[in-house]
Structure 1
Amino acid sequence: MDKITLQRIEQLHPAAREEVKQIIKECDAALTGRVKVRITQGLRSFEEQEKLYAIGRITSGKKVTNAKAGQSIHNYGLAVDICLMIDGKTASWDTVKDWDNDKVADWYECVKIFAKHGWDWGGNWKTFKDLSHFEKKNIQTKKGLMKMAWRTLLKMNRDKDGYVIL
């Protein structure tokens, strides 16, 4: 796991950090060699979310999100975006390349591992597919298993560090 990925994991919600470390370790082991996973985005502030939402609406460019501030699971530290780092130098979002020659696209090896851990892949969304995005579908709380919906998360109390109290 590279330094940038570790730094981004440490900013995620405390309830997701260890699981994401495990997922990335499993992905890196499955990719055997030239390719490693890098988290390109984890926790995102409401301000950052508003700037992204403005792209293609207020500022120039193609729309990159339909989520306003508070409507992205990134805003709660329970989502990550990834890329594949080739030889530690080149970022790739190629979903079909098989660098380890095991007859399975490296990207889909990662998709399967995230799914095994209960994470939803943005590539499965019906509209506005987001191939680099993964978010925690459900999380164990003191009150039981909770679905991670932004409408619920937005209303929750926060701890001294700003994370929702699960």
Structure 2
Amino acid sequence: MLIWLKNKGINIVISQTWRTREEQDALYAQGRTRSGNIVTNTRYPYSLHCWGVAFDIAVIVNNKANWSAKYYDIVGPLGESLGLEWGGRWKSFVDRPHFQLPGFTVSDLIKKYAHPESFKKSWKQSFEEEKNMAGFEGLATVVYEGKTLSAGILEGKTYVELRTLAELLGLKVIWDNNTKTVILSK
């Protein structure tokens, strides 16, 4: 989706993917028991983010995230044309930066896997679909202290999942939804 949109002159970044219990609980507390606006109506594990099948984006304008609806109303239908479900179509709690894979419901996932960690263990580490992506140059491996992570090379850059790498390095990963910032700490 990133390259496809870039080819249409729209730059985006993925700002949120899989959420831990702590991250989802912190987002739920925002606007309730913590300062800030309410940004979610769901507790852990009732968000598809907790199951790894939803993601949020940020549109980048002049090298900064821009949250203006006009950009998301362009990007949303493009994501839908790729088969994604878009939160901009929701009737209540419209969530324009949100996309999710079709066909998943939290109730079905809970019934089959009980909790997100069991579902995550069922994932296969495969780049088969990505091999057909424009700009995809192949698979790579990142090794740290004898531990191997799968990676992919896209337009000359090596990509690895940030949370997996950070945890391997012994870092704590926190997502600040207010500023759309990943905070790494020891």
TM-score bin (small chain):
0.5 to 0.7
List runs of 5+ in structure 1 lacking aligned partners: 1-22, 97-105, 139-147
Counterpart in the other structure of 1:165:
122
Letter in 1 for 2:18: L
Counterpart in the other structure of 1:125:
90
Higher strand share: 2
Aligned residues: 122
Counterpart in the other structure of 2:23:
48
Q: How big is the shift at 1:160?
A: 8.2
Q: Take 1:53 and 1:107, find their aligned partners in 2: how far apart are those partners?
A: 23
Q: Take 1:111 and 1:159, find their aligned partners in 2: how far apart are those partners?
A: 26
Counterpart in the other structure of 2:173:
none
- Percent sequence identity is 30
List per-residue Cα deviations over 1:75-109 (Å, max 9, x = no partner). Answer: 1111111111124x21112232xxxxxxxxx4333
Q: Take 2:121 and 2:82, find their aligned partners in 1: how far apart are those partners?
A: 21
Counterpart in the other structure of 2:40:
65
List runs of 5+ in structure 2 lacking aligned partners: 124-186
Q: How big is the shift at 1:55?
A: 1.3
Cα distance change on mapping 1:57 and 1:160 into 2, 3 Å:
closer
Letter in 2 for 1:163: K
Counterpart in the other structure of 1:135:
100
User: Normalising to structure 2: TM-score of the pair?
Assistant: 0.58
Larger Rg over CA atoms:
2
| 2:13 counterpart of 1:38 | yes
> Which is bigger in relative contact order (C-alpha 8 A, separation at least 6)?
1
Q: Name the SS for the 1:57 alignment partner.
A: coil
Q: How big is the shift at 1:58?
A: 1.8
- In the TM superposition, 1:74-85 aligns within 5 A as 74-85=49-60
